[in-house]
Structures are given as structure tokens and as C-alpha cells.
Amino acid sequence: MIEFKINDQPVEAQAGWTVLDTARQYGIHIPTLCHHEAVEPSGNCRLCVVELRDGDWSKVVISCMYPVQDGLQVYTDSDRVKNVRRWILEMLLSECPASSEIQRLAQEYGVEQTRFAIHDPEEDCILCGLCVRTCKEVVGVSAISMVGRGVHKVIGTPYMMPSDACVACGSCVTVCPTGAMRRRLDLVRGEPKTRMAHSAV
Amino acid sequence: MSDQNKRVGVFLCECGRRIAPLLDLAGLRQKLQDQDAAATVAIEPFPCLPPGMASMKKIIQDNDINRVVVAGCEARIMLKKLERELAEVGLEQGQIDMVNLRDHVAQVHDLAPEEMAAKGYKLIKAAVAGLEALESTPKELVEWNGPVVILGGGIATYAAAQELVRREIDCIIAVVTDDWEDEIRMLHEHYPGERHYYDRLENIMREVDQSPYVRRITVGNLSKLIGRTGNYQLTFEDMGSELPRVYQAGAVIACLDGQMLNQGTDFGHDGVNVICHTEAEEMIWTRGVPEGKVLFWLNDYEANQSEFVHLSARAAWAMGRYMRDHSPNTQVTIMYNSKMPIPLSAGERKLGRQLGITWVPYDGALRPTVQQGYLTYCDPESHIEQEMPWDKLILSPRRSLGQEVTKVAQVMGLDVREGEFLEQKHAKVRPEMQGREETFLAGSARYPCDLHEALRQGRRAAAKTAELVLKAKAGELYAPRMVCVVDTSKCIGCGLCKEICDCGGIEPVEGHGGGIPRHVDPLVCTGGGTCAAACPYHALTLQNNTLAQREARVAALARDLAPGEAIAFGCAWGGLAAADNAGVKGLKYSPGTYMLGVSCIGQIDPSVMARALLEGSPGVLLIGCPPEECHHSYGVDHTWSRVNMIRKLLEFSGMDRRRVALAHSDLNQPEEYIKTVESFERLMAELGPIEQTPENLEKLQGIYATVNNPRVRWVIGATMRRPWEDVYPGNQRNALAFDQDLLGILMEEFVRERVTRILQTEKRPMKLPELAGAIKEEPELVRESLHEMVSEGVIGRLHKDGVAYYVLRT
């Protein structure tokens, strides 16, 4: 049994749990985007950051992958954490301004607008890769993946053509935190008429 | 854990803020406990995370729970994880069910928390009833008997064998010649222009030839293949006068190469100076590279095979390159349709320029004309008709399946269609499913390809097969739990199931068919269950997900429904997924529809629909995939036939036909799904409940009995769409006549079933007017049925005082 504190509240956890697991068990809310219970955490969106304090010293870590330890002092909603989240949301807001989920979260944290350049006002994907992990871990087909590097990174299929591996189950749409997968689904599974007949063109 | 003692545990999920404050979970738990609905009920903040999982496992062990309902989110996403985790405490697939409280209740309705809980309660009770009806089957090992047999004689044989050899798996390769070097010599007949690959291919062939794991047999074509994965029996035609040769095999891989035919005289083909790729290869082999002007014309567009032009272009390029390398006096020109891209890499283009191979485009609008020594073509730039001189004109081949390959494919039970290659466009369900052609089919007969691709397919098929073999060797190859099984004591061998099944998992126990019971290959079955719902004798069941379970679910739900509420079934690929996505999007809609999930709408036996009406549901809505998109053997088309039947029976009973309806839903269109549901709800409100009068109940009982009547099920089975039919409902020419016949048969059986039931309950001899009165039908109609039943010996007739009395025979 591992004992530590979240927001000064004593909590008990077991080895192998993460800070986020423990917080959720105790009903302590930590916002997340790329976290889904059905797949392994990947720490992509950074929204679940929490502050770990040790005397005068403190650090900010992502709770979804941080393993529990005895004596941790976790703060889920401290000023420092809120500040980091505002930064993250401001950046997300510039990356995918069209997502209503991001807008809602930004508003919750008092982020009205972003100081960063908006490249595509229609963009709604935060590139958290949850759809990719679900396709691989839950469905088991890996029809979609991250394509490209850096600023060119997108979610897609090989050659951006409807994928033969796709089983058209729609799991990616269901798990997507921003609803971005919805308009991308047809690019993955193909048009209705050819969906069942991907030919080897 | 004994099956007799069915103990269901219900776990209610708070899901952060997404269920708990919106839905009164404490009240729901209280109600479930008060009603004694389950052995234990617990609320977990997140059952899906490690802390919740640990607590759930503890409760399951402490309370001896052997069935679990998790009421939280989408089964489509979360069920696999739960199954994986809860396997540690002895729960198997099928023993865990999920109710989507979040996306089907809490997130989508504007209701008070208590009302939300009331809806959740009914859904959970239905799930519990389904699990209580589950007869869980023990784990079944797949028997593995024999080596892997690679047949068909295609070149991919060697790539497949190499892959198996490297994994130390025994295999038999059935080939045409004794010597593998002969095969290389003949290879250009199937894969022209691949000479550069032969060294590597020889290495593969040598490795296979020298391996102790490979047994090489020289036999004729496959003449018979029976059995199922793990246990096949193959019979080959013998080329000599000996008896047919029979082999036992665990798995079969077919490596089949397509045929290259020469072009006809319409392209000027004469076999001497105007030749095709295969002949050109032959010429290089035997007589060396020709000197002078060699012209390749990629005439695939003109030969109506433009989809394979890249293959011809690659072959022409490879042959041209070889010619230039070996004969400086040969000029190579390749003429291509200006519509097509040249399939060369930058390096190859550079090499081509160095070698002086010219690529000349022509305008495809004008068909090039072959003349002696010249090819007339239209230049796409200048639109001037030009003439290209040649000494040898080499045409693209015509690609086809070939007769022998067709025969083998037919024996293997593949769907062979005129003018098509063997690759099938099956809907995909489980990625690990074995019935897919990439596991057992490789080579250019599957779809024209180059040698490299054929070998790759062979390796892939072998790798997938090897996974199975290694599992079987380790004693870990279990049959999936939710697949169809046949009760051979009930099966009469009518073959209806095999006819309508597209996954190809159903085979006769022995021989080719006839009145022999069928069995199912569990590694091929997709678990859709439309075959089980079609079986006239209920001999076919979807194990661990049975008809009895679905009936129990609808019965439990229908009994609890309030006025204005109705039952809906949604398939995991259509309706259910759309409902999930509506919840994820946070769309709101009216709460009167209770969604029950199934993996395919085709699982819904008409008996389930009848049961729902009988138990008090005002209607049943079945929401499947969009037309032509069913993932399981046309389940949605088969459901159309079933719904149609129930509607006819409803009309006979004086009830509204619209009470049972089939709908289609795309998972990515939750808004459309909501329109479907709300429209059905409005209809239900308009029609109101079916009054529970004894008369109506008698009729509903009659409907229930009729849809389980073997004759009716047989006739309905006959209308169902076969995999080879292009559209539903097959040939419209006879549809109306058939429908009228069906109406007659349904009426007949409807009356007979009801008369039987009345005689059963009354347990006394009854007169015609009494019987007709009891079921409120015309005496004439009843008389006819009675006469027939008497002559068939189902009921007996006695006479008392000159009046006929009818009595049930026992």
C-alpha cells in the first residue's frame, strides 16, 4: 500500500497505479484529452499536468503516466498547474481553433484567445493519437497512424488512401476527444459504395 | 465455477462527471438491490482503471460472481479490456455484458436524475436477464491434425514454404514437376520480365528444397477438400493410374498463378514478329535478344485491362533493359497511353536514359494501328498521326484466371465468378479471423501482380498460418467463444445455413453435402449469427450469445416498459455505434427507445421480435448497417425478410404492420440515427400499446409459434439474399408472385399453430365452430387447416352425434 496526498487529502494506492488513476478513484477531477481508459496512456496532450511539491521545490508532471510513490504531495489545481494548463490550452487553441471541446476547456480556464499564429481556422484535431492507439490496441488493425513529422504531422492512412486494413468499426470516431475524426472517417474507410470493396488499385 | 449457480454482479460506473451527477446512481443501486435483481450491486468511480478493476475483482471473488454487467460506457470500446482483465478472476467472453449508461442515457436525455436511473434500471435488468439465460460453454481446443499443405503449384509456394521452414513447421508442397529448376524455366509464362529476380528466387527454392521440414509431392490437381481448420483432408487427382492420393492437413495454403494469354489478331498478333510478353521471354531464352528495332506497345487500355497496365509497363521495362544490356544493336522503344503514369523510379528513369530506352506516349483517343513494320499512333502533343517503325512488336498479354486454377479454386469452395480474379471483397470483422484470403491465398490468380508481390503474399499467408500452427503446437489454439455451433442431432443437413453464409465457415461433417449434418469451422465463423436465426430447426446456435439470451433480454425489458416506450436493437457496426456516437457528441433526444446491442442485426431471430410483442412491447425497431455494408453475411438483408414476415403476421392479427421496422444507420451520422429513433417513437405514441386482451395475446402467441415453425422458417430462408446475388431481393421478376405464395403459407401455418395451441390448452375434443371462435377466424379457413392436419396425422377427428370433434394427438 502506497500512501500519499492529493490536494492535502491523504490517499492510498497500489504499486502500478498512476497519479491520475488514484485521483479518479477518489473523485478528484483532472482534465484530460488524450487519455482513454481502454488504451495505455501516452502522455501526448499534457493537459493532465499536476504539481508535485517537496518543501520549497516543486515540479509539474503529467498525472496519466506518473507512477504513485509514498509521500508524494500532489496538487491538481494549484496556480502553477492552472498556469501550465492555460499555456497548453492557448497552444491547442492556435492549433485547432475549430474544436468546440477545446474552446469549452479554454473558457473554463479563462483563456479567451491565443497569442500564437493560427495556421488553419478549420482545424479540429489536436494530434493526440488516441484514435491511432485505439485502432491498434482495441481494434487490433492499425489502419491509421501518425503521418509526417513536426508541423506536417497528421492522422492518416498509408498514402492517404482508404485503407484496406480498416474494418469500418468507427472506434476512432467514438474515442476522439475533439470530434475531429468524424470528418476524417470517410478518408480512412472509403466511400460507402466502395467500403466493402477496396480493390487493389 | 459451476454454471448452475448463476450469480450476476452489477457494477455501476460514475465515469467522472459524465454519469454520476446526471443519473441517480445511489437510487439505482438501491432499486436493483431492493428488487433482488443481482447477487451484488456496487458503484465504482472508474471500473475501467486499475483501482476500480482491483476493487471489482475483489467483489467478484468475494461474492462468487460468475456473470458481470458493467453499466458505464460503450461495449464496442471497453468490453475487450474488461474481458482481458476479468479473465484473471475466471470470467470468460460472453459472461460480461455492458450497458451504456453514459451515451445511451445520461448524456443524451434531458431528464431528472431519478428518471435517468429508471431508464438505466430497465436496461440493466435486461442485461442481467440475458446473462442469467447464458449457458456458458467450456473452452474448446481446436484439434490440429497434420502439416501445412501448400498446393496449386504457384511460385508463391516457395516463399510460403520458406517462411514455414524458418519457423520449423512441417509442410507438404504439392507441385507439378519433380525438379524446381524446371519451374524457374517455366516461370515466365506467368511472370514475364522478372528475370532479374531469378537469382534471389533460386536461393529461396534451394533453401526450401534442402530443408528437412518440406516434403515435395508431385500430384495432379486438387479434386476434393473437406474438413475445417486444423483438420483437412485433401484428395488429389493422380496423374498415373494409381488411386487418388489423400493427404491429411492442418492448414491449406493455395498458391495460384494466373494465366497470360496472347492477344488476338485484332492487335496484329502473329506469334512471329508481333508477339506477347511471354513469347518475347521465350525468344530471349531460346534464341537470344533480337537485333534491330524492338517496340513494346502497352496495349492494355485497348485490350480493356487498363488496371494492369503498370504490370505490363514494368515487364516491358525489365525486358527492354535486359535487351539493351545484352545486345548493343537493339533499339528499345516503349509506347504507352499518355493517360498512364510511367511506373519508374527516378533512378530507373536515369538508367533508362543511359541505356537509350525511349518511352513514347500516344493519345489513347485514337487506337494505334499495327502495320507491317510500323505502328500508327497519334502524338498527344502535336495531334499529328505518326508512325513508329519496328522489327519486333511486343504486345502486353491478356491476364486471366486459367482453367486449372479455376478448377482448384472451385474445389476449395472459393467464390469463382466469370471474368473475375479470386480476390474477394469480404467485409471485415475480426482481424485475427482465419477465413480471409490473405491467410490461404497467394499469387497472381488472386489479383494480377508481379513476382515480388506474389512471393510477399506467399510469405504473408505462411506467417499467418504459422501463428496458428505454433499456437496449436503449444496447446493454446482455442476456438473463439462466440461462434456458431451445430447440434448434429437436430440438423437435417438442409444446407440453408451454408447457402446464406458468406464467411464460409459452415461445411458438411463429411462428404460434399446432402442430408448430412453440417458443422462450423470456429476459426472462420465471424459470429454474425444470421445463419442461426435462419435455421428451420434451431439446430444452429450462436454459442454464448444465444437466441434464448436475446429472448430473455427482450422479455425482461418489454415487461418493464412504460406506455410510449419501445425496444430497439442496434448492431455494433451501425445502430449501436451511431447511438454511442450520439452520446459522445452530446446530442439530445427523446428517451422512449431502449437500445439493446447485438453484433449483427441478423442475429435477431423473428422469434425475438415476436417475443418482444408478446411480452408487451408496442413495437420493435431494428437498426442495422446501411444497405450493402453489413459486416456479417448480409445479416441486414436477411433481417428484411424476417421483418417482412412478422409484418404479414401482424396484419393477419389485425395489428398495425409498422410495429416492427427495420432501419439503417451509419455510425458517423448520429443525427440521422436520432431522426430514426424519434420517428419510430412518434409512431409508437400514435399507435399506442397493443391491448393485452386475451384475444390479442392468443394472436401474439400464434405469431410466436408461427415464426418458430420449421416450414415457415424454411420458406423465409428461401427468400434470403445469397452472397452471390447482386441485390436484394434477388430477382424482382418473381418477387411479387413469391410474396403472394408466402402470404398463403404464412396464413396456413398461422391458423394451424393457433389451433394446435388452443387444443393444447383446452385438452379436450373441440368442434369446428368452437375452434374458429376461439381464434376468431373464418370457419372455412379453419376447416381447411383442420382437414389437412387430420390427414397429416397431427390431430385426430372423432364423431359424436354426427358432429366432428378434433383432438390433439400425443
Which residues in chain A are closer than 8 Å to B54, comparing Cβ atoms? 14
B744 and A CB contact within 8 Å: no
Which residues in chain A are closer than 8 Å to B573, comparing Cβ atoms? 168-170
Minimum CA–CA partner of A197 in chain B: B425
Probe site for chain B from A194, A196, A199 (most B CB atoms < 10 A): A196
> Mean pLDDT of all residues in chain A?
90
Span B440-466, average pLDDT: 92
pLDDT, position B363? 93
What is the distance in angstroms between the Cα of A194 and the nearest Cα belonging to chain B?
9
| Residue ranges of B 609-628 with Cβ closer than 8 A to chain A | 626, 628
Of B78, B425, B572, the CB nearest to A37: B78
Minimum CA–CA partner of B82 in chain A: A38
Minimum CA–CA partner of A18 in chain B: B50
For domain A130-194, the question of CATH label 3.40.30.10 is answered with: no
B726 close to B415: Cβ distance less than 8 angstroms: no
B633, three cell numbers:
453475411
Contacts of A1 (CB under 8 A, 6+ apart): A12, A13, A14
Identify the CA nearest to B698 among candidates B771, B779, B643, B768: B771
Encode B466-499: b = buried (16+ Cβ within 10 Å), e = exposed: bebbeebeeeebebbbbbbbbeeeebebbbbbbb
Span A75-84, average pLDDT: 95
Minimum CA–CA partner of A167 in chain B: B428
Q: In this model, does residue B728 exceed pLDDT 80?
A: no
B423 and A CB contact within 8 Å: yes
Span B408-426, average pLDDT: 82
B577 and A CB contact within 8 Å: yes
B621 close to B569: Cβ distance less than 8 angstroms: yes
Q: Which amino acid is at B691?
A: E
Q: In this model, does residue B23 exceed pLDDT 80?
A: yes
Burial of B512 (0-12, 13-18, 19+ CB in 10 A): exposed
What span, in angstroms and rounded, lies between the C-alpha atoms of B637 and B621? 15
Which residues in chain A are closer than 8 Å to B431, comparing Cβ atoms? 139-141, 165, 167
Minimum CA–CA partner of A191 in chain B: B629
Q: Are B77 and A25 an interchain contact pair (Cβ–Cβ within 8 Å)?
A: no
Q: Which amino acid is at B213?
A: Y
pLDDT, position B243? 63
Which residues in chain A are closer than 8 Å to B429, comparing Cβ atoms? 167
Probe site for chain B from A33, A169, A194 (most B CB atoms < 10 A): A169
Probe site for chain A from B464, B667, B669, B671 (most A CB atoms < 10 A): B667
Span A76-82, average pLDDT: 95
pLDDT, position B2? 42
- Cα–Cα separations (whole angstroms), residue B95 to B522, B543, B644: 19, 12, 33
Ordered by start, the domain boundaries in chain A are 2-81, 130-194
What is the distance in angstroms between the Cα of A56 and the nearest Cα belonging to chain B?
31
Categorize the per-residue pLDDT at B433 as very low, low, confident or very high, splitting at 50, 70 and 90.
low
Bridge partners, residue B356, by sequence: none
Q: Are B431 and A141 an interchain contact pair (Cβ–Cβ within 8 Å)?
A: yes
What span, in angstroms and rounded, lies between the C-alpha atoms of A87 and A192? 41
B298 close to B309: Cβ distance less than 8 angstroms: yes
- State the DSSP H helix or E strand holding residue B724, giving kind and residue range, or none if neither: none
Q: In this model, does residue B485 exceed pLDDT 50?
A: yes
Minimum CA–CA partner of A140 in chain B: B431
Q: Which range, B56-60, B228-232, B415-419, B714-718, has the best average confidence (pLDDT)?
A: B56-60
Of B17, B432, B581, the CB nearest to A170: B581
What span, in angstroms and rounded, lies between the C-alpha atoms of B517 and B631? 26
pLDDT, position A84? 96
pLDDT, position B729? 58
Identify the CA nearest to B369 among candidates B241, B227, B260, B268: B268
- Cα–Cα separations (whole angstroms), residue B19 to B25, B70, B107, B527: 8, 13, 8, 32
What is the distance in angstroms between the Cα of A169 and the nearest Cα belonging to chain B?
6
Minimum CA–CA partner of B669 in chain A: A182
Helices H / strands E in chain B, number of each: 26, 33
B50 and A CB contact within 8 Å: yes
What span, in angstroms and rounded, lies between the C-alpha atoms of B242 and B219? 11
What span, in angstroms and rounded, lies between the C-alpha atoms of B252 and B231? 10
Q: Are A169 and B78 an interchain contact pair (Cβ–Cβ within 8 Å)?
A: no
B377 and A CB contact within 8 Å: no
Which residues in chain B are closer than 8 Å to A171, comparing Cβ atoms? 76-77
Categorize the per-residue pLDDT at B596 as very low, low, confident or very high, splitting at 50, 70 and 90.
very high
What is the distance in angstroms between the Cα of A14 and the nearest Cα belonging to chain B?
8
β-pair type (B214-218, B171-175): parallel
pLDDT, position B347? 95
Q: Are B54 and A192 an interchain contact pair (Cβ–Cβ within 8 Å)?
A: no
Which residues in chain B are closer than 8 Å to A1, comparing Cβ atoms? none
The number of residues in chain B equals 810
The residue whose grid cell reads 460507402 is A192
The answer to whether the A2-81 and A130-194 domains have the same CATH topology is no
- In chain B, the percentage of residues whose pLDDT exceeds 90 is 65
B74, three cell numbers:
460503450
Which residues in chain B are closer than 8 Å to A138, comparing Cβ atoms? 77, 80-81
Q: In this model, does residue B581 exceed pLDDT 70?
A: yes
Which residues in chain B are closer than 8 Å to A173, comparing Cβ atoms? 581, 584, 667-668
B764, three cell numbers:
379436450
- Cα–Cα separations (whole angstroms), residue B58 to B49, B64, B449: 14, 10, 56
Chain A / chain B CB contacts < 8 angstroms: 110
What span, in angstroms and rounded, lies between the C-alpha atoms of B252 and B249? 7
β-pair type (B251-255, B148-151): parallel
A56, three cell numbers:
520549497
Of A38, A134, A175, the CB nearest to B48: A38
B438 and A CB contact within 8 Å: no
Encode B534-560: b = buried (16+ Cβ within 10 Å), e = exposed: bbbebbbbbbbbbbebbbbbbbbbbeb
What are the tens digits of pLDDT across the range A96-108?
899 989 999 999 9
What are the tens digits of pLDDT across the range A181-200?
998 998 898 876 555 543 33
What are the tens digits of pLDDT across the range B498-547?
888 877 778 777 766 677 888 888 888 888 899 999 999 999 999 999 99
B433 close to B524: Cβ distance less than 8 angstroms: yes
What are the tens digits of pLDDT across the range B134-171?
998 888 899 998 999 999 888 999 999 999 999 999 99
Categorize the per-residue pLDDT at B425 as very low, low, confident or very high, splitting at 50, 70 and 90.
low
What is the distance in angstroms between the Cα of B671 and the nearest Cα belonging to chain A?
12
Which residues in chain B are closer than 8 Å to A141, comparing Cβ atoms? 431
pLDDT, position B87? 94
Span B287-304, average pLDDT: 92
Q: Which residues of A touch B (CB under 8 A)?
A: 13-14, 16-18, 21-22, 24-27, 29, 36-38, 134, 138-141, 165-171, 173-176, 179, 182, 185-186, 192-193, 195-201
B345 phi and psi angles, rounded to 5 deg: -80, 170
B229 close to B127: Cβ distance less than 8 angstroms: no
Q: Are B584 and A196 an interchain contact pair (Cβ–Cβ within 8 Å)?
A: no
What are the tens digits of pLDDT across the range A38-74?
999 999 999 999 999 998 899 999 999 999 999 999 9
pLDDT, position A198? 38
pLDDT, position A201? 31
Categorize the per-residue pLDDT at B228 as very low, low, confident or very high, splitting at 50, 70 and 90.
confident
Categorize the per-residue pLDDT at B730 as very low, low, confident or very high, splitting at 50, 70 and 90.
low
Categorize the per-residue pLDDT at B664 as very low, low, confident or very high, splitting at 50, 70 and 90.
very high
Categorize the per-residue pLDDT at B806 as very low, low, confident or very high, splitting at 50, 70 and 90.
very high
Lowest-pLDDT range of B31-35, B480-484, B606-610: B480-484
B723 and A CB contact within 8 Å: no
Find how far residue B357's CA is from the centre of its chain.
48
Q: Are B16 and A24 an interchain contact pair (Cβ–Cβ within 8 Å)?
A: yes
> Mean pLDDT of all residues in chain B?
90
What are the tens digits of pLDDT across the range A100-152?
899 999 999 999 889 999 988 999 999 999 999 999 999 988 999 999 998 89
Of A171, A173, A201, the CB nearest to B307: A201
What are the tens digits of pLDDT across the range B232-279?
989 888 776 566 688 999 999 999 999 999 998 889 899 899 999 999
- Give the strand order in the sheet containing B96-99: B40-44, B8-13, B67-71, B96-99
CATH value of A2-81 in 3.30.565.10, 3.30.2140.20, 1.10.600.10, 3.10.20.740: 3.10.20.740
Minimum CA–CA partner of B76 in chain A: A171
Identify the CA nearest to B661 among candidates B640, B692, B686: B640
Which residues in chain A are closer than 8 Å to B668, comparing Cβ atoms? 170, 173, 182, 185-186
pLDDT, position B236? 87
Categorize the per-residue pLDDT at B432 as very low, low, confident or very high, splitting at 50, 70 and 90.
low
pLDDT, position B183? 87
Q: What are chain B's domains?
A: 1-136 (3.40.50), 148-258+402-473 (3.50.50.60), 262-398 (3.50.50.60), 484-542 (3.30.70.20), 547-756 (no CATH), 763-810 (1.10.10.10)
Minimum CA–CA partner of A174 in chain B: B581
